[in-house]
Amino acid sequence: MNQASHHVVVVGAGFGGLEFTRALAGAPVRITMIDKRNHHLFQPLLYQVATTALATSEIAWPIRHLLRKRKDVTTLLANVVGVDRAGKRVLLDDGSAVAYDTLLLATGARHAYFGHDEWEPFAPGLKTLEDATTVRRRILLAFEQAERETDPAKRQALLTIAIVGGGPSGVELAGTIIELAHDTLRSEFRNIDTRQTRVVLIEAGDRILANFAPKLSDYAMKALERLGVTIELGRAVTRCDAEGVVFGDKHLAASTILWAAGVAASPAAEWLGAAADRAGRVLVERDLSVPGSPEIFVVGDAAHVLRPDRRPVPGVAPAAKQQGRHVAATLKARLAGNTGPRPFRYRHDGDLATIGKRAAVIDFGWIKLTGWAAWWLWGIAHIYFLIGFRNRLAVSLSWLWIYATGQRSARLITQGDDDKG
């Protein structure tokens, strides 16, 4: 292959796409980065924007700024709608196309409502900055409307927040929202007592944090209950609407429903016409390439990758970054003439989840931590992976302020009127 003219197209500037691009620094290639948004998002802290702890600018960075020193990279703000595998072209929604020699799809995931997409207007999830500001607006508007509501039943529905899904996202949302209501807002209203807010965490399984060791799940459940969160286990949600949520045979009147129960892959498999798993993730080869198209790779939430024990690689940021680095190394080897097999091997760094502002659970396999020490380690780990000294400092100061005072400063209702359909 002609190395000097080898063109690499990357779709998606998330963890996998950005790590791949960084790892290709100095390689004899031209790179085009395509994303439908102009920023890279640190998704693990997205819930903190939704719950007023952090501002959007503290967890997102312009892609062009991050790649400004890479003269080999061209960044395009565009929406991909397909891939022409035979012609080696990425198709854009304006009718144009971008040719490639190597293609990396790192397009992430979207919300999954288990065949009930009609629930989405009533139960937004958290994948984008727009999602976070929507959730923040709904939470804050519920308190504002409750302040004016005179009917006790309607007021209590406004002060009830249901969270569907007991994984890390659901647990982190529940702990932060209950502290927002019980601590931050309690002196700011005159007609309501925000400490009467109910946060209900609904999980279809028999325990929350199912990917963690059972004793850590038990600790997290007890810690949430001490904060005041109600946890409902063993009953799947069967309806979400403007009146609330139904799980099992129980109806919960709640004006705010948040979805943390499941994700589906981006349309990458549809673009490629490739085989996919039930969540829509592309069934890739062991080197993360697409069967029949060794020049196309898929990483992150869009790829179905198995560990040696046949368990799927989790859809977390460290996994996407490892995959991005692996594909970059594979491409460098190919450019150097080494076309031998290079299977991807995932290294699991551990699972982390925070519970409010003073507790967390950490499972590194060889060591398991809970409580205050785990919370500090969780915070240090997340600050380390933020981009830039300014952001690390801003987030650190915000967390220390919340830890010391309970006050959250990003309580802004933005984007105009809310519409639940």
For tokens 């809310």, the residue is 418
Q: How many residues does the chain have?
A: 421
Q: Report the DSSP beta bridge partners of residue 263.
A: 111
- In the block, tokens 């892609």 appear at 63
Cα distance between residue 399 and residue 421, in whole Å: 35
User: Is residue 179 annotated as part of the catalytic site, yes or no?
Assistant: no
Residue tagged active-site, from 149, 172, 179, 203: 172
Tokens of 172: 């982190």
The answer for residues whose C-beta is within 8 angstroms of residue 214's C-beta and 6 or more apart is 207
Catalytic residues: 172
